[in-house]
Every structure is written in C-alpha cells, then in structure tokens.
Structure 1
Amino acid sequence: MRTTTAPDAAETVAELVARQWGDHRPGLMYGAGAADSAGPTVLSRHRTAQEAAARAALLADLLPAGAEPHVGVLLDNTPEFPSWLGAAALAGAAVAGINPTRRGPELARDILHTDCRILVTEPAHLPLLRGLDLPGVRLLVTGTEEYAALLAPYADAEPGEARVRPGGPRPDTRLLLYFTSGSTGAPKAAVCSQGRLAAAGGSLARHFSVTPDDVHYVCMPLFHGNAVIADWLPALAAGAPVALRRRFSASAFLDDVRAYGATYFTYVGRAVQYLLATEPRPDDREHRLRLGFGTEAGAVDAARFAERFGVRLVEGYGATEGGASVQRCPGTPQGALGRAAPGDDLAVVDPETGRECPPARLDARGRLLNGDEAIGELVNRGRSLFEGYWRNPDAEAARTRHGWYWTGDLFFRDPEGFLYFAGRTDDRLRVDSENLAAAVIENVLARWEAAAAVAVYAVPDEVAGDQVMAALALREGAAFDPEAFAAFLAAQPDLGTKMAPRYVRILDELPVTATNKIHRVALRRAGFLGPGPVWHRTGGAYRPLGAEDLSALLAAYGAQGRRELLDR
C-alpha cells in the first residue's frame, strides 16, 4: 500500500543524506541481472548514509590544504557513484561527473578544468587514463585492496563529522559541476548548489507523489544531470530506494524493472525509441512501473510506449544550469510541455532580432502550421536560477546576454501560452531562406510505422543554405520502401513544402552519445558521404545515391565553391 506523506523540505542535500541515518528501509539496490547473482543486492538507507559518511571523512583528509573541494567521478552507475555524491554533500565538496566517452586530451581537460585533486574511478576505466598528464590529481580506484584499506579507518564515521570547509555545507555550497552536452566547443561545467538541488529534488518528489513505496530505476548515466537531479534526488527527498543499472540496456530494461520492483525511471534522448524497438513480449505490461519522466520522447513515441507498456511518459524541461523551467499543469495539450514555472518570465524570441515570435497556429490535430515564424529560442526574461559555469566567463556572458537567460533551445508557444519543444538552436536548418527546426520534422517522420528511430539534421546545399537530411533506423524486419516513404510524406498535412528530406540514410541503429542522445555532430559530419545506403529525392521520388549521382553532386558543389563545406 502506498503511503502519501509529503517529504519535509530540506535546505541542503547534506540534510537529505543525513536523514537516512538510522532508517533501515531499503535505500540502494544493484546487481539485478548479473550472471552470478540470485537477485539484487539491497543496502538500507542507514547503510547508504554510512557509506557516504565514510567517504566524506576520507575526502576531508585527502584534499590538499587550499585546494578546491572538487572530486572527479569517472564511474559507471555503480554503488560507488551515489556514495560519493552523498559524501560530497556531507563534506561540503563538489562532484565533477566525468564522461567516460571522452578520450585523451579532452578527458584530461575535463578533469583539470574542474580543478579535481581527487579522481575516483574503477578498474574498467583505467585504460582511459593511461598516458594522460594529470598533475596533482590523486587516483582512487574502487574495488581494489588499496581502496578498501584507505576507507577502513573511516568505517565508523557519522554524517556531519567531516567537513572540508569551516561551518559545513550551506544552501549556496557547490555540490555538482556537471558538464553540458553541447554539440560545439569544449563542454561547459554548470555549477549546481546544494540548496537548488535540494529544492529541485523535493519539488519533483511532491509533483510526482513519490513515496517510500516507490523504487527509482536509474538507468541513465549518473555523470549527467538527468539521472541525479530527476531520479536520485527526488528518491532521496521522499525516502524511496534507488536501483542502479551500470549502463542503459534496452533488452534488459523490463527484466531489471521487474527484479527491482521499479515504479519510476527517467530517460533522455532516444532511449524510448530503443525500448520500443525491442521485440514485443506477452508480459510487456507485467511490472510496477507507473511513470517515466524525461525529454525528447515525442508525442508519437509516448503514445506507443503507453499503449505497449501501460506506462505514462511525462515530458519535462529544465536544464542542468537551472536558468529556465517549464512545468506541466492541468489542461496541458498533447505534445506541449506546459507553461513557465512560477517566477520565470519565459518568451520565445527570434535570436537575431530579439523580438518575440508570434503564437503558433495549430490545426485540429495539434500540428504546427506556421513554424517558420513561430519557432524561436526560449529565453527567461525574469528571475533565473542559473549559477554560472566553472571558470568560463565567456560562456556565462553568452548565456545571459542583454540581461536574459538564453536556453539555446527552440520552442513555440500556442495562443494559450503552452510551450512546445522544437529542438536545439544548433539543430535549426535554413532551406530556401526558410528557418526549419529539426525536432518538428522528426516528429512528423516518427509517425512512419517502419521507423524505429529518426534523426534530422542539416547538410549544405550546393548553392546556398541547407538541405534536410534524415537518418532512419528501421524496425526489425522492415526494409526501406522509397515509394511508400514518399507516399507517407505526401499524406502529412503539417509537413511543409521545405521539410521533406532531400537525403535519407538507412542505418542499423543511430549513433548516440554517452547520455543516449543522438550524436548529431557525427551525423552532420558524415552528411551523405558516410557509410550506409543513402537515398536522394529527385522529382518527388527517392532513389539510391549511386556513384554517378554522387560524382555529379560533388561537381555541383565544386562549381559553386562549396565543396569544402562537406568536409567540416
């Protein structure tokens, strides 16, 4: 039976971690599905606080005098990750989540840029660090005898005993330095304070009525803000256990959910598409899941997910930076994310002129009819919770220019003020002098039954501007039928005359980043020159892009002096 007591508000995450002390209900689960495991390992809430307190004491002793209280964490979703999150909270330190898909100088740059004097990793990731110059960084390798020996003297530590600064953690104390997953330039480390994170966790716990009877399944990577802010923190605030998956696996998802008794999970990017692409099973609805919360699933996939698994997906919007937030509210139309959160003055503006875009015109089925003029960048003209980027004043200035917070995301707003996500500003295309948003085209293509996953991006036009290119991963057993695809496009009333893909690449699966978002940079770089069969549209019909076609196409680029654009 579910209890309904709302969690008390906490001023810091340290307070939430300390509340677990003496509570012997389940707090952390892991190991479900392991070949040598009879079932998941379960740690009590008291034990999780105990593990965090031990690491907080170790951290306080290991940090050099005068060093920034930052610890880098280069781990998969193992129990050590939440233990170090809790340790940093108790000690008044900050965790920098290090992305294990980064390599060489880029990986070293992330560690050194965030002033990490301690780096926690695991044996599986040691090859990533070989040959890197990391002056002044002490390496702690979990799962080793040396690591166990370091921790042993602190086994009896209690929350609040070890602090890296006098006075202990306060609401404005840094807790996270989380790298944003931008598509260009070096990643920026967003600063997240204990007070903001505690408030976010409590707010989500109340919004989704999270209780100790819930189990939060953490299958998205903990080095990314989604898993910590939207999954771990609301569970911590409500006294619910969390269940860990080392890395996301679509094929193991349902088995994990059943083994843990999970009721809630978060998703990002195309994880939902890959879940839908798994082979249907008669027991798809036999589980305790009641809710999935995330971004960029799309209305079509959300409906398919609910129909197949019986689970409601709730789309949300709130960047790790905290600069703007959209909240779902009663009456939110299908496809919309909601309205501005209290205190935010959100507007959709033309990024070139700064003028507010006109409201969207939607047909009876909610399809956008005036995307060219209605889509713009979402800005917050009022109060912002943005706390800056670590040692990156130029990026901060760009994000807060003219006194507004610029999200870098495209939206449109209907006449009632409901906001709809339309993609990243980097995903905007300009075709024949018209501005298009990749996400809007993707939402149309996602209706095609043969498509398991879709990505839309720009490739240079031979003469000027862009052309639309789509990468499609097909459902199992499906084949690309060019005539059926063209007929499908022709039947979509909200597919503008410039939106039909000029090029279509068929892939077994779409490339994704470590956070399960489509790797658009890789797709854009490959264009129509990369691997996989490519079809191109001529006269309204799609046909293979053969060697002769490609040669003629490249000659056209060369004649216009634009050949080099294909090599960027």
Structure 2
Amino acid sequence: MKSGADARESEGSTVAELVQARWGDHRAGLRFEDRVLSHHQMTAGAAARAALLTDLLSSHGEPHIGVLLDNTPEYPQWLSAAALSGAAVAGINPTRRGAELARDILHTDCQILVTERAHLPLLDGLELPGIRTLVTDTPAYEDLLAPYADAAPEIARTVGPASRMLLYFTSGSTGAPKAAICSQGRLAAAGRSLAAHFGVRAEDTHYICMPMFHGNAVIADWAPALAAGAGVALRRRFSASGFLTDVRKFGATYFTYVGRAVQYILATPAQPDDRENPLRIGFGTEAGAVDAARFQERFGVRLVEGYGSSEGGAAIQRTPGTPAGAIGRAAPGDDLAVVDPVTLRECEAARFSPDGRLLNGAAVIGELVNRGPNPFEGYWRNEEAQAERVRDGWYWTGDLFYRDGSGHFYFAGRTDDRLRVDSENLAAAVIENILARYPRAAAVAVYAVPDPVAGDQVMAAVAPVPGAGFDPHDFAQFLLEQGDLGTKMAPRFVRVLGRMPVTATNKVARGELRRDAFRCPDPVWWRPPGAAAYRRLTPADVSTLLAEYRTHARDHLLTR
C-alpha cells in the first residue's frame, strides 16, 4: 500500500477504495479533543469494525446499521467500515424522541444500532425488535472488537459504485422524515468533485462541526477530505463560542456550515486577533450575502454559498464572475429551470436596480427543477415521496429560486416558505435577506402566519445582538429605508427572542415558529391594519384577533 506522500489522492470509484487507500498513511488523520489518530489507525479501526459487521449482519435482512452518535471518532470509522463491508449507514438524529426515534430506526431496517452511553436514555422504553445495540464507550464493546484488531481493510466482493452507502434523513417539516439513498459511487464522486473544486490538499484539515447524521457533514466535509487524503477534526456538537478556538487548535483550513451557524459565530464578541486563523474557506448554505460579507471582513475567510439538493437531483456551482448574492450556474449536465408549479412555465428573468436590489420578485420566483438526467437515487421505502419528487420526467427540488438573464441562480427559500399576502406571492428568504441588513439583529427569520380573512401575513423573529435590545421605532425606520422592501413585505408581527430556535442541523425551526405564531412567550410587536408604527401586542389585541379569525372561520389555521 502507498503512504501519504504518494497515495492515490483522488482515485477510487467507491468510498471503500478511498478508505483502503489510507492504509499505511501515518500522517495525522483525525483530531478530536486531545486525541490524534493517524490515517492508518483510522483505517485499521474501520477494518476491525467491517470484520465485525461481516459476522454480525444476517444475510436474511438488509445490511443496514443505524448510527446514533455525536461527532466522535467512532462515526467516521463506522462510515468507513460500512463502505468496506458493503453495508449502509442510517444516520439517526439524537434530537428525535420516543415513537419518532423508533420509527426512524425501524423504517431504515437497521439490524444493528451503534450508540454511546450518553444517548442510551433516548432508547428507554422503545420497541426495537431484532435490533442489536452496540454501545461504543463500554468495556463490552472493546471486548467485542478485540478479536478483529489485526484485520486488514479488505473490500467485500459485493461492493461497487451502486452499493448503498448512506440512508440520510431529509427534513421532516412536511411529514415524517424521508430517508434519501446515497450510493458509494455518488458519495465518492461528490468527494472527488469538491476536493478538486476547492483545491483540497493532503495537508489540509477539514473541521467537522455540523452533525454527521446530516448529509452536509458527510458529503461536503468528510468525503472531500477522504478523497484528497486530508485530515479531519471533529467537534462533538457545534459551538459558536468554541469555533475559533477549535480552528486554531486543530489547524483547520476548511469547514462547512448549514443554516444559522454563521450568524451564531458572528454573534460572539469580536476580538482584535480574529483574523489570525488558518482557515482558507467555508462552504455551506443559508448564510446570506450580508453575513458572508461580515464573516469575511471579521475573520478574513471567504464563505462560498453552494447548492445541492440533499437527494442529489440538482446542483449549482459557483464560478468566477458569479454576482453577489447569487449561488452560481447549473452544474455541467443539469438542465435547470425556475418554473411556476401550476402552469409549468419558466418564470421570467429577474431584474435588479443599479444597487443590486430585486425589482420584480413576485414574477420571477418559482420552484427549481432539473429537466435532464440526474443522480437522484430515490427514498428508502417511500414510493409516494419519490413520485412527488420526480414528476412529468422532471426532478422537483422543493426549493424556491429565481434566475437572472445571465443564467445565475438565486436561492429564495423552501416551497413551504412561500407566503401569499394580498394575492401577491412572496418568498421568506428574499425578505430575510433584506432584514439581515438590520445592524441590531444577530439573527432573523421570516415565516407566514394566517391572515384572519384570506392568505397570509408576514411575521419575523428577531434575535437582537447582545446588549442591543429591540427598538420598534428604529426598526420601522430601517424598513422605510430599504428600497427593495415591497409594500407587502414589511412584517405585520415581530417576535423578539433571545436566541433563534434551530433544528439539530442549525436550520431555523420554522415549523415551531409558525406553530407559535403571535401567541408565544416572547414579546411581540405589531402594526394593526392601517398603522405605520409598531406597538406591543397585548392580551386584548390577541383576543380581538382570535375573534376575527373565528368570524371568518379561519381559527383552525392557528395550530395552538
């Protein structure tokens, strides 16, 4: 086997081959807390676990293992072990509870569940028939692995590019989470592509602080490091306050983010030496142009906003000359279009003011579709969801976009983030990008609440920067100064909270915000119909509003 300096850095049509190529490489491969493991040690650990899997998995069931772990060295070792043995990993979300957690494990037909002592209470009382549980941080687990300590990283004869590698759950905001299938070939190709695109080097270190049960951490962070022979550094759970300390400690040069992680890092107190860090690049989604600019100014690190649907059906790549705020152009081979889901017609091109503000938002926002061949590999045992994703021969992403006359795409939110105010269609992400300019806000989120009569009203949640508080008059003046804030876009309700609620993957928990609407424990400011100024929403106001909902038989739309 070749060692680090001359290893086959970008070869390998399967993840198993990429894992095997690290055997004999004694450079630092993984850093976690105060531990350092070489690539060779990680591969040896994977080989031992693969050999164990061969003995434990029954040929009468699916070769699937559930992994219910924080970001510890066990996680990438089990990913690698699954690749070598031809098994598939179902990433289990530790924020799920009770019947929902059991459903995820059973739905993916796991024969084995790998977990740790900290998560054992989550399994109390769950009915998981026929599933063997391995608890990693126990003597029994070490005893179980011991006979396989000298195993070499052999690739099972059944392994090929089409072998299932991942069953990772997509958002469950519109029902039970769907388990998207990712093959070894697709994951290896994604790793090689990202490594080439970002110039990942063998001497780089990828910082993985997003949870590894999610596709972002595995596909966009772990896989390109594996393809390039780079090291990884793990953070058990994301910490905004620990981010820069970790980056310096581990010598991290690359990281990925999802959702509001960037906002939380920016909300930490600025220090004069923030730019003294080894990072070269950050890659992710939903940071927004304003926060990306702030991040680069403060830390000297460029954030690249990318887009690739979790299921692999569409991808947008940032290329030189991409305008500010745009994601990029369609990846080679993709026939992407922004389509009105009712008429199936392409939306018109976006027009901008001289200072780059969107002028015709209502007419240009539609759902992103891929009309050509795509690598979507389906959902595990969910034909209904699969048929919804692929309709009329097109792959429907479920995401809202708009496109300019040069073919650059701009993200506008999820399809269920669309609002309809006074018969005008709006996208939450477009309004959020405007509100993100408010200097007193550390984080903002925009979502729909039902109008008492028809359609929706705009509601915003605002988390002020520490010590700033919320001044409704200052906020109202800020809105008046935003030339691209349409007359229907100004929030009717503003919820002021200390911290934005987020999911386990650091995306805003919009479902929770929508369920609360204006009946929440936090202060809410509102503009009554016809009023220009915000005032505090009182219990009497809530009673009057609820009576109006009942009058128009729309009170059932308020879910609390």
State the TM-score bracket (shorter-chain normalisation): over 0.9
Q: Residue 407 of structure 1 aligns with which residue?
A: 397
Which stretches of structure 1, 4 residues or more, deviate above 2 A after TM superposition? 3-9
Question: Paired residue for 2:52?
Answer: 58
Deviation digits for residues 46-74 of structure 1 (CA, Å, limit 9, x no counterpart) = 11100000000001100122210000000
Query: What secondary structure, in the 3-state scheme, does the structure 2 residue paired with 1:398 have?
Result: helix
Post-superposition offset of 1:551: 1.6
Question: Which one of 191, 214, 236 corresponds to residue 224 of structure 1?
Answer: 214
Pick from 136, 139, 142 the counterpart of residue 145 of structure 1: 139
1:111-150 paired onto structure 2 within 5 Å? 111-150=105-144
- Displacement of 1:5: 10
- Say yes or no: does 1:317 pair with 2:307: yes
Q: Which residue in the other structure is 2:68 paired with? A: 74
Name the amino acid aligned to 1:202.
R
- Correspondence for 1:256 among 246, 253, 257: 246
Of the three residues 532, 536, 552, the one matched with 1:544 is 536
Shift of 1:82: 0.3
Unaligned runs of 5+ in 2: none
The 10-residue stretch of structure 1 (318-327 or 500-509) with the greater mean CA deviation from structure 2: 318-327
* Deviation string, structure 1 residues 136-194 (Cα, Å, up to 9, x no partner): 10000001011000000000011116x3xxx2310000000000013110000000000
In 2, the alpha carbon distance for the partners of 1:85 and 1:185 equals 27
Describe the superposition over 1:504-549 as per-residue Cα deviations: whole angstroms up to 9, x where unpaired: 0000001000000000000000000011000001311100001221
- Residue aligning to 1:557: 549
1: CA distance between counterparts of 2:258 and 2:266? 14
Residues 44 and 406 (structure 1), Cα distance of their counterparts in 2 relative to 1, 3 Å cut? same
Residue aligning to 1:246: 236
Any conservation in 2 of the 1:6–1:206 contact (CA below 8 Å)?
A: no
* Match 1:12 to one of 11, 14, 21: 14
1:49 aligns with 2:43: yes
Q: For residues 6 and 83 of structure 1, what CA distance do their matches in structure 2 show?
A: 20
> Is 1:517 the equivalent of 2:511?
no
Asked if structure 2 preserves the Cα contact closer than 8 Å seen for 1:504 and 1:534, the reply is: yes
Letter aligned with residue 394 of structure 2: W
Which of the residues 327, 330, 333 maps onto 2:317? Answer: 327
Asked if residue 87 in structure 1 is aligned to residue 52 in structure 2, the reply is no
Distance 1:342 1:556 in 2: 52
Q: Tell me, yes or no, if the aligned pair for 2:257 and 2:284 is still in contact at 8 Å.
A: yes
- In 2, distance between residues paired with 1:360 and 1:517? 27
In 2, distance between residues paired with 1:180 and 1:366? 33
CA distance in 2, matches of 1:123, 1:253: 25
In structure 1, distance between residues paired with 2:431 and 2:124: 43
Aligned-residue RMSD, C-alpha: 1.2
Contact 2:11 2:18 in 1 (8 A): no
CA distance in 2, matches of 1:64, 1:8: 33
Any conservation in 2 of the 1:423–1:439 contact (CA below 8 Å)? yes
- What one-letter code is carried by the residue in structure 1 that aligns with 2:287? A
8 Å contact kept, 1:317–1:325? yes
Confirm whether residue 387 of structure 1 aligns to residue 377 of structure 2: yes
Cα distance in 2 for partners of 1:6, 1:207 equals: 18
> 3-state SS of the aligned residue for 2:89?
strand
1:458-496: CA deviation from partner (whole Å, max 9, x where unpaired): 000010000000000000110111111111001101101
TM-score, with normalisation over the residues of structure 2? 0.98
Aligned partner letter, 2:538: G
3-state SS in 1 of match to 2:392: helix
SS in 1 for 2:534: strand
Alignment of 1:321-400 (within 5 A): 321-400=311-390
What's the secondary structure of 2:457's corresponding residue? strand
Letter in 2 for 1:558: R
Deviations 1:292-345 (A, max 9, x none): 000000000000000011110000001221000001111100110110001100
For structure 1, the 5+ residue unaligned runs are 32-39
Asked if structure 2 preserves the Cα contact closer than 8 Å seen for 1:27 and 1:48, the reply is: yes
Secondary structure at the aligned position of 1:101 is classed as coil
For 1:6 and 1:375, the matched residues in 2 are separated by 44
